[in-house]
Structure 1
Amino acid sequence: LTARRSHLFEDAYATISGMSDEDLNKRLVVSFRDEEGVDAGGLSREFFLLASHRIADRQLALFEPASNGELQIDPNSSVHSEDTVDMFTFVGRIVGLALANDKLLDVVFAPAIYKMLLGDKPGLEDLAEVEPELYRSFSYMLNNPAGDLLDDFTFSVTQAHFDSHETVDLIPNGRNISVTEANKAEYVDLRTQWAVVEKVAIQAAALVQGFNEVVPHALVEGLDWRDLKILLTGTPVISPIRWRIHTEYTGYTSTSDTIRHFWQTVQSWDHANRAKLLCFVTGTSRLPAGGFDALAGVGETEKFHIAKGQGNGLPTSHTCHNVLILPPYPTAKMLKEKLEYAINETAGFGEA
């Protein structure tokens, strides 16, 4: 896969959408047009990072943030593009390729999406992210005599569509069938499935199809959605203490002034800057499930490594080997300024 950074998503869409089953089952090798670097793991890690950011882009109108910030399928996505089905199939392939190539995505989906990818049925708990107030009403309804509350419900739902409203029956003639104590559990289940699954059924089916074209269902059967989430997104927690414990050095020792200044800087940063540093050196802003001890290298795990550079230029990195080339800056202030410039203003890999 060769892509322009300025058109990464479009180039990836053209290439990956046209891949055969045989190609989808090969290791994905990435290059960025007009850039040096051979992909031994670092470039593909960055590709999945950048692709996942585009997937989450609201301008693309495929997903929207749930109440907790996790991504759920935008129910209006079908009206934004004639290529909606193909686009969701492509996203499914991206997710499948990330899993198959042991790469992380820098995007977290709502649990219902992981469940659908595994062929599992979303439940009432998934309604909490889609319609929080209705979730609270249903939870109360199921656990208490609902009384007059049931008078407001029939086996139907009113769906807004721009300036009009449409009544959708959850069962035949549902709009004329009242919800009672006897049938309230059935109603809650049907209404939940409509909100979480049926409302986005076309998009979800395409997403799952693309995923299964890369990762057949048999390979993930029996996997819990939480396990799939961890495999795809790793862990967002970046502990400076554990980072330091799992770091090796060349040309420095753990007590060198430059190294002390480096860890003082990392300790002073917020999560966003730590994630940028991790991405600058490893190609991904999230840690694998095994933490720093499980960072991916070339064919095996490789620890985070700081090697001594020359002069006072900007830090550089070898992302395929998780190596930061850090010059021996004379002051902590200079180190902090150079490092912050590098992680915030540079893109691309001179040496992958």
Structure 2
Amino acid sequence: MDSFTQLQHLKPAEMRGRLTIQFSGEEGIDAGGLTREWYILLAREMFNPGNALFELSPSGDQSYQPFSNSSVNDHHLAYFKFIGRIVGKAVYDGHLMDAHFTRPFYKHMLGIPLNYEDMEAFDPDYHRNLAYMLEHPLAESGLDHLTMTATTMWFDVEETVDLVPDGANVPVTDENKLEYVNLVTAHKMTNAIKDQIGAFTEGFNDIVPHDVLAILNPSELELLISGTPEIDIEDLRAQTEYTGYTPASPQVRWFWDVVRDLNDEDRARLLMFCTGTSKVPLDGFKALQGISGPQRFQIHRAYGGGQRLCSAHTCFNQLDLPEYANKEELQERLLFAIREGSEGFGFG
């Protein structure tokens, strides 16, 4: 809400300018790292289903789509426009957002028409039912009672919506079932959230004009916004620089052994701890950004003994690695640092 209050009235040209972030009660100076954490924290709130703006797709792939009942949230369209601007600002500045949208939503952003096949990425079970309906006679599938209507839920209250004029009195037949399928999927993927889509897209295009995106397909737009989904440790290692250590140093060898064994969640935590984002740039780790442009991942020798935890400087993509006595000690302290100390900025 602080960010919304501060930024909602800025003109597009002002939003494209450089923002400097300061967190209340923290000492950190924004040389890039605080901005990256700001994007992370904003994404966490913007896509939090508890805020009734976005919801997780039924597909189970952890992708988001606008919540059709978001009007329960006062000024929800202003929030959608603001979120569109923030996502556009992240793209404009080369930051990655910690969120993935449904494939139909990316098509909406690009202005690409949807068809019923897009329902597969939106709700696979519902798509399967529609496909079965198209491939079999309605009487055989037990669907010969349908009419040209769709149901929507206003929380626990079911409402019926006509898909064509007087749709409740227009039966679905084998002759018009393709029309029904297209209309009902358009209702679910577009009409029920058209105001939210419009507000988000307006905000996004305030920062990134539509004609700039016209050359992209939905997959390319997803990569532009969210980065690649997998963290290639060997690519990260190949793009790493060392200060005070060499690639042959025992602590460095132990570090990479430990990192290779991390699960996907802890790999993302490590990347966030060191760089301020859990996503990988489109061109891999050679395209990591720092305070003044491209900045490779760095491991610096931290003096003072192995009692210290690892620390990081996200503005420089830098990990300070103490001289631990053995691999087990390094693993214990690294995991504690990335799991318990991945947020917040201060001087110490």
| Both proteins in one fold, TM over 0.5 | yes
Change (3 A) 1:141 1:276: same
SS state of the match for residue 254, structure 2? Answer: helix
Any residues of structure 2 matched to 1:12-91 within 5 Å, and which? 12-66=3-57, 67-68=59-60, 69-79=62-72, 81-91=73-83
8 Å Cα contact 2:104-2:121 kept in structure 1: no
Partner Cα distance (2:222, 2:24) in 1: 31
8 Å Cα contact 1:235-1:289 kept in structure 2: yes
TM-fit CA distance, 1:217: 1.3
Aligned mate of 1:194, from 187, 206, 209 = 187
Corresponding residue for residue 98 of structure 2: 106
Structure 1 range deviating more: 187-196 or 33-42:
33-42
TM-fit CA distance, 1:175: 1.7
Amino acid at match of 1:115: K
Any residues of structure 2 matched to 1:109-188 within 5 Å, and which? 109-149=101-141, 150-162=143-155, 164-188=157-181
Corresponding residue for residue 3 of structure 1: none
Structure 1 range deviating more: 120-129 or 144-153:
144-153
1:256 pairs with 2:249: yes
Partner Cα distance (1:335, 1:157) in 2: 58
Partner Cα distance (2:159, 2:345) in 1: 52
Corresponding residue for residue 272 of structure 1: 265
Amino acid at match of 1:309: A
TM-fit CA distance, 1:145: 4.7
8 Å Cα contact 2:138-2:144 kept in structure 1: no
SS state of the match for residue 88, structure 1? Answer: helix
Stretches of structure 1 that go unaligned for 5 or more consecutive residues are 1-9
Structure 1 range deviating more: 211-220 or 222-231:
211-220
Partner Cα distance (1:120, 1:15) in 2: 33
Aligned mate of 2:326, from 315, 321, 331 = 331
Structure 1 range deviating more: 107-116 or 124-133:
124-133
Change (3 A) 1:350 1:120: same
TM-fit CA distance, 1:311: 0.9
8 Å Cα contact 1:130-1:195 kept in structure 2: no
Amino acid at match of 1:249: Y
TM-fit CA distance, 1:334: 2.2
Question: Which portions of structure 1, spanning 4 or more consecutive aligned residues, are displaced by more than 6 angstroms?
Answer: none
8 Å Cα contact 1:93-1:211 kept in structure 2: yes
SS state of the match for residue 293, structure 2? Answer: coil
Partner Cα distance (2:125, 2:336) in 1: 44
Stretches of structure 2 that go unaligned for 5 or more consecutive residues are none
Aligned length: 341
8 Å Cα contact 2:103-2:121 kept in structure 1: no
Change (3 A) 1:168 1:239: same
Partner Cα distance (1:297, 1:143) in 2: 54
Corresponding residue for residue 5 of structure 1: none
Amino acid at match of 2:89: L
TM-fit CA distance, 1:64: 1.5
Question: Percent of aligned pairs with the same residue?
Answer: 40
Deviations 1:67-110 (A, max 9, x none): 2221122222222x112111111111111111111100111111
Partner Cα distance (1:208, 1:124) in 2: 22
Deviations 1:271-299 (A, max 9, x none): 11111111111110110111212111234
SS state of the match for residue 55, structure 2? Answer: strand
Name the Cα RMSD after superposition. 2.0
Partner Cα distance (2:137, 2:11) in 1: 55
Structure 1 range deviating more: 41-50 or 229-238:
41-50
Partner Cα distance (2:222, 2:323) in 1: 40
